[in-house]
Structure 1
Amino acid sequence: MSLKSMLEAAARGGTVEVTDGWTQGRAIYGGLTGALLLASIKGRLRDAAGDGSGSPHPLRSFTVSFIGPATTGAVEVHAEILRVGKNVTQCQATLRQDGALVATALAAFGKHRESTIVVPPRHPMPELPEPGTIEPFPYIEKMTPEFYRFLALRQVGGALPFSGAETGDLSGWAQLRETPEEFHEEHLLVLADAWPPATIQMLSGFAPASSLTWTLELVAEIGPDTIPPEAVFAYEATTDASRDGYAHTHAMLWGPDGALTAISRQTITVFG
């Protein structure tokens, strides 16, 4: 199934057949997991609205907890609406495989409100070479994550994973290789989790690492009216702290207009 077909199946709820090529190690790529959970939630909201409109408010925050590894093949996705308030709608979704819970997500949608507080983003978009001047990471069988065949990541700052680097920061450009008909919040989720955990470049040799929790906070509205389907996003990640086998990072994504689009925060397990 294509990404479009998987997202459409998730929006209907029930069984989704995750196609080969979307793995990261032994598990389904986390960005795809998040996108399937969000698609399920938005599908549930559309069903509840009865008119196909879905949530009346933009997505503000999306948090995923990766409970266990899911492999390609059939997964079961289910969403429920927790509360519909005047200003905020909150939902939950779960992903199961072979009866076991493998991921859960919470989504918060909130309407625009008048406020006297306006704080411009403190971190400007980094100065990066033009995307077309940088070759994206290639997909190399058994060497790079399989999902690299679907995403074009062009690294500028930082080092390669497991290279013994002194920094836990990285930057670059991210884009879908296959341009969707329209760009939605689900596509941003696919892109936002695409980079290797920033911290693992500090390891001097291979060691397992994986996301434990991931939260994407949307600063700007994402949709066909604001983001072109061929959009390239600037990305910059910082390792805030790491100890006792857990690393804590935050990353920022800037859209084609140079405006801050989203903030990504992760807790990462590091076995090395």
Structure 2
Amino acid sequence: MSLTSMLEAAAHGGTIEVEPGWTQGRAIFGGLTGALLLAAMKGRIAELSATTGKPDTVPPLRSITVSFVGPATPGPVELAAEVLRVGSNVTQCQATLRQSGEVVATALAAFGKHRESALSVAPTHGAPALPEPSSIEAFPYIEKLTPEFYQFVELRQVGGQMPFSGSDSHDISGWTGLREKPQHLSEEHLVLLADAWPPAPLQMLDGFAPGSSLTWTLELIAEIGPQSVPGTTDFAYRATTDSARDGYAHTHTMLWLPGGELAAISRQSITIFG
């Protein structure tokens, strides 16, 4: 089952099959988990819209927060989504991912319509100066060495060092995109790509130690949809480590469209076992 097929199945809720190859360590890659949860929520909102007319359409995603409760493995997973409230402008929804009867991830998301406002502040963080994506070789997928999901994403690193290299650096920059280009990029694709890089502080460790996301919030600034972002798009990426102590690290990340428009802001709490 392709990524497109998994996302389409997730939009209907219920049990879907996560194909092998989408793991990061022992668990399903967190970006895919977030994308599946988002697809389930959007599917539930679309169903409600079709039956009640409220909301009249699925509004653009404004924010999604994912809690990774436990590791999920490839195979059958169960998705359930619930619309919490449909307001005049904002629709709020939650979704849960279960495996073998246990909750493995939950998400809350806010979807908001356009509305008139006197407030307009341009993003204060410009895109990093990066070479063209085509001039940088993407990380290869190497069986049993790199995460399995590298088969499906292209990461082209410019700043920072490799994980577990004992580096003094704790930031990362580069380009991120999909290996198999869809016709267009959706919000679900952006959620997946925003979590594709290894946590920035792992490069400071001198030797392998496991780490995993605990909580993750992604805020969308640009509207990502079939009329606006082609599937060939690579996003500029920059991650900054804000703090690390007591086995937890905290990072914030920004992604930009190729023209320099800020697309999304991400924040993660990460557990570090080393």
- Same topology, TM > 0.5: yes
Which amino acid is 1:37 matched to? L
Contact 2:185 2:231 survives alignment (8 Å): yes
Contact 1:136 1:155 survives alignment (8 Å): yes
Contact 2:46 2:58 survives alignment (8 Å): no
Which amino acid is 1:103 matched to? A
Once the two structures are superposed, residues 200-225 of structure 1 have per-residue CA deviations (whole angstroms, 9 ceiling, x without a partner) of 10001111100000111001111011
Which amino acid is 1:29 matched to? F
Equivalenced residues, count: 272
Which amino acid is 1:13 matched to? G
Q: SS of the counterpart of 1:138?
A: coil
Counterpart residue number, 1:208: 210
1:234 aligns with 2:230: no
Aligned-pair CA distance for 1:182: 2.6
Counterpart residue number, 2:256: 254
Counterpart CA distance in 1 for 2:156 and 2:262 is: 19
Q: SS of the counterpart of 1:6?
A: helix
1:186 aligns with 2:188: yes
Aligned-pair CA distance for 1:194: 0.1
Which amino acid is 1:80 matched to? E
Contact 1:47 1:54 survives alignment (8 Å): no
Contact 2:62 2:221 survives alignment (8 Å): yes
Q: SS of the counterpart of 1:113?
A: coil
Aligned-pair CA distance for 1:226: 1.3
Once the two structures are superposed, residues 73-125 of structure 1 have per-residue CA deviations (whole angstroms, 9 ceiling, x without a partner) of 00000000000001110000000000000000001011122222221111110
Residue correspondence of structure 1 range 28-177 to structure 2 within 5 A: 28-50=28-50, 55-177=57-179
Q: SS of the counterpart of 1:225?
A: coil
Contact 1:182 1:223 survives alignment (8 Å): yes
Aligned-pair CA distance for 1:54: 7.3
Percent of residue pairs identical: 69
Counterpart residue number, 2:4: 4
Q: Name the TM-score, length of structure 1 as normaliser.
A: 0.98
Q: Could you list the runs of 5+ residues in structure 2 that have no partner in the other structure?
A: none
Contact 1:43 1:54 survives alignment (8 Å): no
Contact 2:64 2:217 survives alignment (8 Å): yes
Counterpart CA distance in 2 for 1:235 and 1:265 is: 13
Contact 1:135 1:154 survives alignment (8 Å): yes
Contact 2:92 2:109 survives alignment (8 Å): yes
Which amino acid is 1:248 matched to? H
Counterpart CA distance in 2 for 1:116 and 1:92 is: 30
Counterpart CA distance in 2 for 1:185 and 1:230 is: 15
Q: SS of the counterpart of 1:12?
A: coil
Q: Could you list the runs of 5+ residues in structure 1 that have no partner in the other structure?
A: none
Aligned-pair CA distance for 1:55: 4.2
